[in-house]
Chains A and B, each alone.
Chain A
Amino acid sequence: MAITRAQVANISELAAWMQANAVPSIFKSVIYANSILTATDADDNVVLSIKGAQNGSDYLRAYRAENNYLEIAFAEFPNHSNTIEVIGCDNGFIIDCIVYYTSNYYSRQFCALFTKTNNEKVAIIFPSTLSATASSSYTTTLRHVAFGDSATIATTTTFTPEAGQQTSLTAWKTNPDPGAVSYTPKAFYLDMHSGYSSGIGKFVLNGEEYITNGYWAISCSTV
């Protein structure tokens, strides 16, 4: 499965990358018009919108239902002087933003995962904030949306590793309700990640190929 990596300077370039690499694998369509990126799922629901005019009122919205969305403002989303990297394959992609203060000192401002659940819903998972020290607490608070999942679940999930010092590949549950569990079978949260270096990696585990930015690991095997 092809792995694609790019650096984008703005939302327009992000839209172009998503059109080329995330349609139709994740989204049915990605449109950029009037400074707004809009993405739809296979049922023509709007599942994502990003307003990127950099005027102080910009936002990223991840929809769980029509008129029901999670939103982050651009205070958290990159808007200038940052490196915005996208990398992914047909099973999902990551938008990663890193602010470089110097070549050796930087922090991650934003790291969002886009993938599909076991129910073939578009899943969008992003942090309220992430910093280079986020991993030290071994607990991370993330917000997540899969369109059509229960709207009653909390908008934040505090994740604590299950097994001591081990790093595990943990499928993210976008809806943990008993009997209606949905999760991300092809994308995994690394609960003991390291936030202190940049770059991506590729690894093979039990015959399956993964890419990782240190926070997420996405399976890029076809099976």
Chain B
Amino acid sequence: MAVDITQELEKIENNPNGSVVKDAIYDALLKLANAEGGGSGTTVGDAWFVLDGIKNATVGRASFSEIVID
């Protein structure tokens, strides 16, 4: 399963109380993508984090406060 987090967040960004809902969904989607993307044991999951524009994400063991590429 592919999870495009940025796309999901855009859907609710301008709704009333959007920031609260956005944070909750954001966290849930990150956890989902992390679990399913990493797989377990000898498997590789299907889900991908889409990190463009996202801050404070954890992918596998990596904690990103912000992502830049040198």
Could you list which residues of chain A lie within 8 angstroms of chain B, going by C-beta atoms? 3-7, 87, 162-163, 165-171, 188, 190, 192-206, 209, 212-215, 217
Contact = CB atoms under 8 A, between A and B. Distances in A.
A167 B66 contact: yes
Contacts of B39: 5, 200
Q: Which 9 A-B pairs have the closest CB atoms?
A: A214-B61, A201-B60, A201-B59, A203-B49, A202-B37, A194-B63, A214-B62, A167-B64, A199-B38
Contacts, number: 111
A96 to B, nearest CB: 10
A190 B41 contact: no
Interface in B20-70: 34, 37-45, 47-52, 57-70
B47 A193 contact: no
Interface of B: 34, 37-45, 47-52, 57-70
Contacts of B64: 167, 192
Contact of B69 (A168, A212, A213): A168
A199 B52 contact: no
A199 B65 contact: no
A170, A188, A199, A213 — which one has the most chain B CB atoms within 10 A of its CB? A199
Contacts of A168: 67-70
Contact of A206 (B52, B57, B58): B52
A20 to B, nearest CB: 13
Contacts of B68: 163, 166, 168-169
A103 to B, nearest CB: 13
Contact of A205 (B40, B51, B63): B51
Nearest to B39: A5
B30 to A, nearest CB: 10
Given A169-B70, A203-B51, A204-B50, A193 B37 contact: no
A39 B65 CA distance: 38
Contacts of B50: 203-204
Nearest to A198: B61
